[in-house]
Amino acid sequence: MIQSDEVTNEVTIERIVDIDACGTCGVMSEGRRFVLVDGAAQRMYCSEPCLRAGQTALSRRRWKARRRAMKIAIIGVAIAGACLAPHQGKLGPRRPVTASPPPKAATTGLIVPEGWFGPEWPPTEMSLLAALGRDAWIHPLAGPIRRMPRADSRVFGAVRPGNRAAECRNGHCGVDLGGEIWGEHVRAVHDGVVDFVRRGIHAQRGGEFVRISHRNGTVFTQYFHVAAIPRWVERGVPVKSGDVIGLLGDTGVKDSAPHLHFTISIRPYPDKAFEKYVDPEPLVALWPLRVPLEGSERGLVTTVADPGVPLGSMPPLGRKARALAKKAGAAAAAGARAGARAGAAAAKEDAGEDEAPPSAPASPGDESSGDE
């Protein structure tokens, strides 16, 4: 006779009266018997401890079977996904593996205007040097000695005759540089486009000169009194910083020695005629110098040359002071011309020639008033 004792997790524990071997210890004694039902299978045990041991073993077998079934299911899903995923077709021949280039710096998508730093911020040393290199300005006369105005009559705002722009103070709208070497190269100070060229002697308008436009017509530089201008220098022709645009001379000079009259003017609005002169002396005191190589037409630009010492622009003078300054300049120029004529006559007598060989004017009249 079989009597139901208790039911736990689909396992029925029953008391039996028959005699059979215990499922745990293998020995069965007379008395109470316990049976463990697992589906269609039945196992008998002699005591409750053996029954509990049988239950534990059965639970382990069940969990082992479940884990195995889970592994099989995962492998099946992976194989099915690989089969169903789209493919690019037949693989071609293998290519040699090469190192990939370094990733490019992420940009913000903004268009950086010319002359601005970017896209990195703050700017690196390389981007700063690149921007400065694209905006290089140089001294119009070659080094190694930096040429600066040597006298007050050569500075911006010095006394000059005629009606001049108001910002030019007493009439001189630029600075007078050089004169030590007649015919030396005059160079463009910056990249630009030739805006105007005057060839031929013009005593009333600074002689031969070149005007160059920079920065899209907002900055202009002018080079007066040049002795000659290359044929390729014509209106609309682009020039580079350091290009030879003339030879230093004295065309249009009235009362002074050969020199370069150099001016800078600003036009804030390219489409308007409004233009103002500025004092270039502080700039030429700092601009890099082009130093020619010995025995060669080539040269090197240096940024470590000693800076110049500006004399400073001349303050506006009253009418009487301007008149006195003009008289003093005229007297000094007359004396310089007389000395030059006397020297030329003495040279003729010594050489015994009817005519003196052509030479550059040597008047030391830097302190006298010039045409520009």
195-228 residue pLDDT tens: 999 998 766 667 899 999 999 999 999 999 999 9
Sheet hosting strand 33-38, strand order edge to edge:
3-8, 11-16, 33-38, 41-45
Are 160 and 369 in contact by the 8 Å Cβ rule? The answer is yes
Q: Encoding tokens for residue 258?
A: 């050969």
Distance CA 175, CA 287 (A): 15
Distance CA 81, CA 75 (A): 10
Report how far Cα 201 is from the mean position of its chain's Cα atoms. Answer: 43
Q: Confirm if 269 and 207 have CB atoms less than 8 A apart.
A: no
3-state SS assignment for residue 61: helix
Torsion angle of the four alpha carbons 264, 268, 272, 278, in this order, in degrees rounded to the nearest 10:
-30
Q: What mean pLDDT do residues 59-65 have?
A: 88
Q: Which of 76-85, 246-255, 273-282 has the lowest mean pLDDT?
A: 76-85
Residues 6+ apart with CB under 8 A from 19: 28, 30, 33
Q: 301 or 31: which carries more pLDDT confidence?
A: 301
- Please name the helix (run of DSSP H) or strand (run of DSSP E) that holds residue 133, with its range, or none: helix 125-134
Q: How much is the pLDDT for 228?
A: 93
Average pLDDT of the residues of the chain: 78
Of 194, 196, 270, whose CA–CA distance to 237 is shortest?
194
CA angle 7, 10, 16 (to 5 degrees): 50
Question: What count of other Cβ atoms lies within 10 Å of the Cβ of residue 311?
Answer: 18
Q: Is the pLDDT of residue 39 over 80?
A: no
Domains within the chain, CATH numbers bracketed: 3-81 (no CATH), 138-351 (2.70.70.10)
pLDDT (tens digit, 9 = 90+) per residue, 82-116? 888 776 656 566 666 666 665 555 455 556 666 66
pTM of the model: 0.58
pLDDT > 50? residue 15: no
Q: For 176-190, 198-212, 333-347, which range has the lowest pLDDT when averaged over its residues?
A: 333-347
Q: Enter the DSSP assignment of 240.
A: -
In this prediction, residue 17 carries a pLDDT of 41
Give, in order, the Cα–Cα distances in Å from 33 to each of 4, 37, 39, 54, 344.
Answer: 12, 13, 19, 14, 151
CB atoms within 10 A of CB 343: 12
**Rounded-to-integer distance, Cα 124 and Cα 106, Å:** 15
Measure the CA–CA gap between 245 and 209, rounded to whole angstroms.
9
Percent of the chain with pLDDT over 90: 35
